[in-house]
Structures are given as C-alpha cells and as structure tokens.
Chain A
Amino acid sequence: MTTEMTRTTCRILLLPILMISVGVLVKGYADIGDGFSAGVIASLGIILQGVAFGAEEFDRLPLVRYAPLATFAGLFLALAVAFLPVVSGDPIFLHHPVAGDSATHFGALEFITPVLFDIGVFLIVIGFCVGSIGAVARETVRRERDRGAQAETRRGSPGAPAERGDRR
C-alpha cells in the first residue's frame, strides 16, 4: 500500500498532466509533439493513479472503463478526416483550410483539420494504453478475488477440493 503522501501527490498531478497533454496536442502543429506524444503523456498520468491507488480503485475510474471505446471513437474520427474528402471528389487526406487560405484563429490557436486527425490519434493511443493496462488491472483483481474465495471454501469445508483452481 502506498503512503498518503504519494496518493495525494498523484491525485494533484493528474489534472496538470492532462492539461499538458492537451497543450502538446493542440500546439502539435506549431511545436514539438503531436497526438501520439500527447496520448502517451495523458495515459501515463492516468496510469499513475493506478500505481498510487491500486488495481481495484483504478478499474473503477470512468476514464479507465471507457478507454477501450475511445480507441474506436478515435479510429472513426481519423478515418472520417482521412476519407470524407473522397465524397466531394477530392483526394484522401485533403486538409482544410487548403494551402493559401487563411485559418480561423482563436488566440494563437488555428482551427485546421489536421488537428482533428491528431485528436483521433490521441484518442486511439490513450484508449490503447489505458485500456490494456485497465484490462490487466481488472484481471489481477479478479484473480485475487478467486484466490480469496478459494481460501474461503477451503476454510469452510476442510478437505473438499477447490472448485475454481489456479488456471495455470
């Protein structure tokens, strides 16, 4: 079990880490970093919670529960950005605004479709990293529970064979 200090620090760190990852994502076109790096940063922030609070708590986080679905949401978003231009007869991966046009600004931020594609990549990476670690976390929790139940039955009726044995 981790100390209170670790847990508090990790909880406080989560939001800044997510902020940084979003920053890396939206500024990716102008600066170092892109959807992939942003995704991994955010995933590491979320996984840090698992390290601090243990597998059971981790598995209960909504961010972890819905992560696998995020993968496919991201895939569809990326596919849409890539292939929707085909509908109007343009080549795939035609990004808007096209070369020469000026982009809409919001502060220093530019609204351009490559960022949408990068958001798709971001969602896929986050879904993959958090989703797989979440799957492992849930599996370990399940095994722990099985082992507990097994010990319980053994204690309850001495000599009776265990119903659910170790799988390996």
Chain B
Amino acid sequence: MQQEVYGYWLPLNVSAHGEVIDQLINVLHVFMLALFVGWGVFFIHCLIRYRSGANPTATYDPIKAKLSKYVEIFVVVFEAFLLVGLSMPVWSQFKADLPAESEAVEIHVMAEQFAWNVHYPGADGVFGRKAPQFVTPENLLGLDPDDTNGKDDFNSINNLHVPVNRPILIRLTSKDVIHSFKVPVLRLTQDAIPGQEIPFWFEATKTGGFDIACAQLCGLGHYRMRGQLNIQTQADFEAWLAEQVEEEDDGGFAF
C-alpha cells in the first residue's frame, strides 16, 4: 500500500484540485528538461568543437544567433501560458472561491508546538467560542466554558477525519508560532499564522489514511509534528462523529 502512495516523484493525488497541479508540474518539468538538454547539447558541442586544440584562432565577430532569439521568445510565451493558462486559474479557483458554508464540512484546526488540535463542532454543528485565556491542559482548544455551543465540541488531536467527495472547509489558526499544514497527497500547503484565522478548502477524492506534516520550522519538535488525515466514506465519517460525541457524553468534559 505504502509503495503505491509514495515514491520518488509526485505521490498519489487524492484531491480534486491536485490533478491540474500535477499536470502543471509535469508539463513544466518536460519543458525544463527539453530546454536544458537542447541548450546543453549546444554548449557541449561548443566546448568540443572550439577547444583551442581544434580551433587555434578564435572568431572576433559574434555569431548571428537567430535561433537563440526564437528560443527566448518561446520561453517567454511558454511562461506566460503556464502563468495565465495553468497556474492562475488553480489559484483563483482554489484559494479565492471558498465553498459555501452550507455545502461544506467545516472544521477548525489549531496548530501548537507540536500538535494539531482538530476542533469538531459536535452534534449541534455549531462551534463553541474559543479564546486564549481559557486554554488549560484539559482544554487545549481554549473553549469558553460558558458557551453552550461548545458543550458537545471535541478535539481530535492529530487526527483529522473528513468525508470523501465533499468540500472540506478548514479554518486554520495557531496558538504560538507559525506552523504550516501540509498534506502531500492533497497537494496542499497552508501556513498557520498566530493572530490570524486562515480559511482554506479541499475536496478529497479517495479514502485512506495519510500523513499531515508541519512545513514551517516551529521549534525542536518540528520534525515530529505529524498528524493523520483519515478520508472516510460519508457513512464511516458519520459513524466516527457519533462515536466521538458519545465518548464526549460518557467522559464528560474532555475537549
């Protein structure tokens, strides 16, 4: 299983937006390789053909390099195509157009040294109010004890469960320093900046368990700030949610 997901190039893609990104990365690398090889052949040809042994007298006049002009123009046009044709649409569609809250599954992720607090709204579907002054070892999210909306909320530490084929809207914050939420199989990186709440979204297309990593140096435990992304079918996801809420009822106050 692991062999198939991860390898020496792009890992398996399980996001709806990732396909275009993979296409962009692959097209771009073919372009880069072609440019480098073409240019390299010319360069090596020059090194051999014009070594002092083979060409004792250099030519003063520059060669008329029409081809290089065409190549340069081609590079400009191609870069413009990549930019306007491939990169910008992904960004504007993916970053600017957040899904409507009614359609999306909303989850709050709060990063801290060195864990991901994943905040689910519980059975009522409403997030309780959070504030830094309420943070205790038992209440890592800092949920306001007076807010009734927060009573059934729960914190799934380092475990992000999402349903497949539905837009997932995440509101990302950080308690302490800058972290970065990165999931290679989702083709996704998003910094978590203290003092800001950053919304982003994705839609997973395959079920399975994958790594979440921190991509921004956040201290001595940066390397082990690993989370688990569990992409489940809608039924499994709902069952999991119900189970968590039940545990919440049994265990009482366990944020």
Are both chains from one complex?
no
Q: List the interface of chain A (C-beta within 8 A of B).
A: none
Q: List the interface of chain B (C-beta within 8 A of A).
A: none
